[in-house]
Structure 1
Amino acid sequence: MSSNGSHGGSDSRHIAVIGGGIIGCSAAFHLLRSGVRRVTVIDAGQPGAATTSAGAGFVSHWSAGMIPLGEEGFQLQQYGLDFYRRLHEVGAEIGYRPNGTLIMALTEDGRERFVRPVLDSPYAPPEMQDLDAVQIGQKM
């Protein structure tokens, strides 16, 4: 590592990533892409066979409950969305299917605490809609 903390074009370290799920494999991918030359993924079973395969695979803005989202959170979530889309576009079968996000509340207090901040966010897409129960039912 250089004195400024950056790695040159040829990083000679060997890095072990523990866990072959989506997070471990993504970490290994990004390490290799950043210039690290030797990365080993260690997992007790097959990559993606444990928690990753049991998950719903849902990725969207606000899916992590980050309200208010903030610029950094928005950029991180957008990177994730773009990353999955690119994997799909290069032919990786990951079950990618773009869809929308439905954020609901059962009470007016819940609506003000969880739905309103999303509606009022500067990162809300222009196609975002504020729907009542009947309108939600019609879209299902």
Structure 2
Amino acid sequence: MRAGPTVALSDNLSRQIKRAKDATDLMMGIDEPLLVDIATMRDRVVSLMGKWNRVIAAGDHYVPNPSFLGSPAVGGADGDCAIGDLLVDLKTTEKITNPWLKDTLFQLLGYALLGLDDALGIRRVGILLPR
């Protein structure tokens, strides 16, 4: 999304989309290793998603891609999701290093600080790493 449609659809995926006759043809053209990777990530988060669904059903708020009052000051920052007082960022990186973890935590803390009006009531941050 951040790269824009020209960059995002300028690779092999773009060619597959353009060549596909319909959605089924497109889906059947996805490489098996990619499907296995996606299925593996899904399997690893399914119980957590069930827990979050129960929390939301019980009355806690859920905000997908929350933005913050201070977001325009930094060019438009947004998180991945807010559930209750938890701000979550989804990362699919394959290699976690100390510098990467530090940068990711600072990103989340930055989002929380950009909530100048505390509209989401963020009190906790979390990184979801399905790989």
TM-score, reference length from structure 2: 0.29
Higher share of residues assigned helix: 2
Q: Could you say which structure has the greater relative contact order, defined with CA pairs below 8 angstroms and 6 or more residues apart?
A: 2
The structure whose Rg is larger is: 1
